Structure 1
Amino acid sequence: MSKKMKSVYGDVKENYSFKIKLKSTILFIWFLILTIICLLPIYILIINATRSHTEIANGLSFIPGGNLGQNFKRVFTSPEYKIAYNALHGYKNSLFITCCSTFLTVFFSALTAYGIHVYDFKLKEISYSVILLVMMVPMQVTSAGFVSFMSDLKLTNTYWPLILPSIAAPAVVYFMRSYMKSSFPLDIVEAARIDGCGEFRTFLSIAIPMMKPAIAVQAIFAFIASWNNFYTPNMILISVDMKKKTLPMMVSALQSSDKFNDYGAIYLAIALSIIPIIIAYVLLSRFIIAGVALGGVKE
């Protein structure tokens, strides 16, 4: 190669390297900004949980305060706060509802998506279209009829209306089927049938492991949605004792009542309520990245 060709090649390589570095730098700055936007409210929430009511009222601060112990004392030992907020019962009630709802959502949505994807039947596309149509109907439109129906069944002031409807999750079914269309070959089902594996066992032993990333993503979303759900429990759990209410309902009672005017204690109660969401994300996020080809068909 001549010196001129080497020079041109070197310039092209240097120019290409510069473009790659510039693009990487821009993307890094952009994702850094997005990260700050996402984490800043949580950081301010945690900081305010350590400050007093007066300090919060005086303005924003990014430096932790020294009132964390007093806020804990007020939230957990003050008689007036115990009337509206009981962390132990709130966590227990919300965790029970959320865990049951999350399991039913991801399991039956995966089962429905598996059935639509694997089996051929006459009303297959119509059934899927109906699921998509149901997904477009907001909860607020059907809430009055839902509460009336639950009242007729005498299920108000119970947890069943907050758990059982989770079986029908059209958006999750749509996501699961889209994932299976791209990552779940039908050849593996045929191979399992030839080996004598039953249909339900095929779903449990082959489909579920291959769908772990999709299940993990939807489990996180379902957990967060159920844990933060205030609208439906507020309609169903009308006259139950405060100890049977969910944690978001307890936090809302603290925020809306004029009796509780200590912002530091309220921020602490809100900060404590997001801990299970963080734990759920930490436990499930590894499945999103890990083994997408788990159980896949090898050529």
Structure 2
Amino acid sequence: MKNSKISTTLLILGAAYCLFPVIWVLIASSKSSGELFSTFTLAPSTHLWDNIVDLSTYRGGLYWRWMGNTAIYAGVGGLVSTFVSAMSGFALAKFDFPGKGFVFNVILAGVLVPGVILAIPQYLLLSKVGLTNTYWAVLLPSFISPYGIYLARIFAAASVPTEILEASRIDGAGDWRTFLRVVLPMMRTGLVTVFLFQFVAIWNNFMLPYIMLGTDKLYPLTVGLNSLLNQGASQPAMYISVVTGALISIVPLIALFLTLQRYWQVDLAAGGVKA
């Protein structure tokens, strides 16, 4: 019982540590610029809507352009990356081919390499073909996710029985049709997880678009808010816009998680019934 209480207390403290910054952003975004810098208090104010309006009208709604760019980068990048990860993971789990072990070891090595290390080489490569400062400069590097391939391989090995693949081939279905009609539905829960991880990673990515992009109309939210933060040194009122923009930027992530979590719940319930 004592250990249970200690564990519960530690979990509550951990949750409070993680949630406090979000609560502070919510409270700070409700204050005016003067209130934000005058005193530190957790009491909310009444200026949230005014701050949202000011942010929305900044340079003709540039913030919402950043929001749209981020949705494109994260949405397209997450979907393509998930599909590529599904194909790669399925092939590594269910097919034998020369160099399979070496390929998987390279992917594992890629999981350990921080993305920031690859940003400069990627910039040099894309600059050679004239794709820097375009949407493709951010999208192309996000299509391949070593961690996503690693997860997809694990999910494919665990959720796709070899007997079903053999039965599909006996029925005359080719590998491509088997993958689309049989494998993808069976890997659904795992692929939702891969998509969510990749979507959040791209949504929060800063270094790659910061290096690749030079036009503010192509910026995602992370780089755009950083540009507003830099203006805060000469225009302190911009700090409140940064806080408000940060608050709005997490709303789509929360909505996405609440939308996709039902797939986990459905599959867990199905597993319980089968058991």
- Scaled by the length of structure 1, the TM-score of the pair is 0.82
Q: Look up the match of 1:213.
A: 189
Q: Look up the match of 1:44.
A: 24
Q: Look up the match of 1:82.
A: 59
SS in 1 for 2:41: coil
What are the Cα deviations for residues 153-206 of structure 1, in whole angstroms up to 9, with x where unaligned?
A: 011111112112223211111112123333332122112212222212221222
| 1:73 and 2:49 are equivalent in the alignment | no
In structure 1, what is the Cα distance between the partners aligned to 2:268 and 2:89? Answer: 18
Which region of structure 1 is more displaced relative to structure 2, 196-205 or 106-115? 196-205
Which region of structure 1 is more displaced relative to structure 2, 66-75 or 273-282? 66-75
Q: Look up the match of 2:15.
A: 35
In structure 1, what is the Cα distance between the partners aligned to 2:31 and 2:208? Answer: 32
In structure 2, what is the Cα distance between the partners aligned to 1:290 and 1:29? Answer: 30
* Alignment-mate amino acid for residue 64 of structure 1: P
Q: Look up the match of 2:259.
A: 283
* Alignment-mate amino acid for residue 224 of structure 2: M
Q: Look up the match of 2:222.
A: 248
* Alignment-mate amino acid for residue 29 of structure 2: A
* Alignment-mate amino acid for residue 260 of structure 1: Q
| 1:154 and 2:134 are equivalent in the alignment | no
What are the Cα deviations for residues 202-223 of structure 1, in whole angstroms up to 9, with x where unaligned?
A: 2122222222221122211111
Q: Look up the match of 1:131.
A: 107
| 1:272 and 2:248 are equivalent in the alignment | yes
SS in 1 for 2:235: coil
SS in 2 for 1:274: helix
Q: Look up the match of 2:34.
A: 54
In structure 2, what is the Cα distance between the partners aligned to 1:82 and 1:198? Answer: 54
Distance 1:243 1:161, change over 3 A: closer
In structure 2, what is the Cα distance between the partners aligned to 1:129 and 1:33? Answer: 38
Q: Look up the match of 1:168.
A: 144
> Percent identity between the aligned chains?
28
Q: Are the counterparts in 2 of residues 210 and 294 from structure 1 also a CA contact under 8 Å?
A: no
In structure 1, what is the Cα distance between the partners aligned to 2:136 and 2:116? Answer: 19
SS in 2 for 1:290: helix
* Alignment-mate amino acid for residue 155 of structure 1: L
Q: Are the counterparts in 1 of residues 78 and 202 from structure 2 also a CA contact under 8 Å?
A: yes
| 1:120 and 2:96 are equivalent in the alignment | yes
SS in 1 for 2:172: coil
Which region of structure 1 is more displaced relative to structure 2, 181-190 or 165-174? 181-190
| 1:98 and 2:74 are equivalent in the alignment | yes
Distance 1:27 1:97, change over 3 A: same
> Highest CA radius of gyration, 1 or 2?
1
In structure 2, what is the Cα distance between the partners aligned to 1:101 and 1:251? Answer: 21
SS in 1 for 2:161: coil
* Alignment-mate amino acid for residue 60 of structure 1: F
In structure 2, what is the Cα distance between the partners aligned to 1:102 and 1:25? Answer: 40
What are the Cα deviations for residues 220-262 of structure 1, in whole angstroms up to 9, with x where unaligned?
A: 1111111111111111112x2x323222221111111134312
Distance 1:168 1:27, change over 3 A: same
Q: Are the counterparts in 2 of residues 212 and 288 from structure 1 also a CA contact under 8 Å?
A: no
Distance 1:148 1:276, change over 3 A: same
Flag structure 2 segments of 5+ consecutive residues without an equivalent: none
SS in 2 for 1:261: coil
Distance 1:104 1:293, change over 3 A: farther
What are the Cα deviations for residues 254-280 of structure 1, in whole angstroms up to 9, with x where unaligned?
A: 111134312333211111111211121
CA-CA distance at 1:91 after TM superposition: 1.5
Identify which of 236, 243, 246 aligns with 1:261: 236
- Matched residue pairs, number? 271
Distance 1:25 1:202, change over 3 A: farther
Q: Are the counterparts in 1 of residues 67 and 220 from structure 2 also a CA contact under 8 Å?
A: yes
Q: Are the counterparts in 2 of residues 90 and 245 from structure 1 also a CA contact under 8 Å?
A: yes
In structure 1, what is the Cα distance between the partners aligned to 2:25 and 2:159? Answer: 40
